[in-house]
Amino acid sequence: MNLEKYPSRLLENAINEFARLPGIGKKSALRLVLHLLRQPKESVHSLSQSLVQLRDEIKHCKVCHNISDDEVCQICSNPSRNSSVICVVENIQDVMLIENTQQYNGLYHVLGGIISPMDGVGPSDIEIPTLVERVSQSEIIEIILALPTTMEGDTTSFYIFRKLKNMPVKVTTLSRGVAIGDDLEYTDEVTLGRSLVNRVLYENSLGKQPR
């Protein structure tokens, strides 16, 4: 469907702005915009204001680089969290995902990307120097690398491992294995092979209760 003729310039502007968002085409944009036209003015103002406020006022935690309303985020400033363990993740979503497991009580370090020479992203373009600095300046016992299991993720993990090699810190990574709820039949060979090599004591596989 070709929707290039709009009855109004205002409508067209709003559609074009929405269609710039990822995963929203012209047709969805039109549907969203017509929905907004049927809403009370206050609703539209409230949506609009929340986006501007978010973009203008949000901060990044100066310790872990997660997004935050304050200088230091809720996780870093929470005294009941274990400040001697840092989980290194690619982005903000990963922090939320790990928080939702309720299995982790340490702190985070958000890299804001991963090393990707193809995209021109090197170690100093992401928060690796600040991670090294953080490890050297505070009492960190363990660094957990929770990066994607892709070529870029593995490269980044290896780079960080090398950087921290001579520091008194244990570097661990997420276990790779068969996903819970999956049949062996649907697990790829590499993962299955790795899960055999890294097999664990049965009693340790039962998992801890969420704290």
Contacts (Cβ under 8 Å, ≥6 apart) of 107 = 63, 64, 75, 76, 81, 82, 83, 85, 86, 87
Kindly tell me which of 96 and 151 has the beta carbon lying closer to a copy of itself. Answer: 96
For residue 39, the minimal CB distance to a copy of itself (Å) is 8
Enter the DSSP assignment of 186: G
Kindly tell me which of 45 and 162 has the beta carbon lying closer to a copy of itself. Answer: 45
CA-CA-CA-CA torsion sign (18, 67, 160, 180): negative
For residue 11, the minimal CB distance to a copy of itself (Å) is 6
Kindly tell me which of 11 and 132 has the beta carbon lying closer to a copy of itself. Answer: 11
Which residues are near a copy of itself by CB under 8 A?
Answer: 1-11, 13-14, 16-18, 20-24, 28, 30-37, 39, 41, 43-58, 66-69, 73-75, 91-93, 95-97, 99-100, 189
Give the whole-angstrom CA distance, residue 102 versus residue 57: 29
3-state SS of the chain: helix, strand, coil percent to 5?
45, 15, 40
CA-CA-CA-CA torsion sign (186, 188, 191, 192): positive
Kindly tell me which of 2 and 204 has the beta carbon lying closer to a copy of itself. Answer: 2
Check if the beta carbon of residue 204 is closer than 8 Å to that of residue 175: no
Q: Residue 199 to residues 31, 95, 98, 177: CA-CA distances in angstroms?
A: 51, 27, 23, 9
For residue 192, the minimal CB distance to a copy of itself (Å) is 10
Residue 68: CB atoms within 10 Å = 19
Kindly tell me which of 95 and 171 has the beta carbon lying closer to a copy of itself. Answer: 95
Kindly tell me which of 28 and 116 has the beta carbon lying closer to a copy of itself. Answer: 28
For residue 183, the minimal CB distance to a copy of itself (Å) is 12
For residue 168, the minimal CB distance to a copy of itself (Å) is 30
For residue 166, the minimal CB distance to a copy of itself (Å) is 32
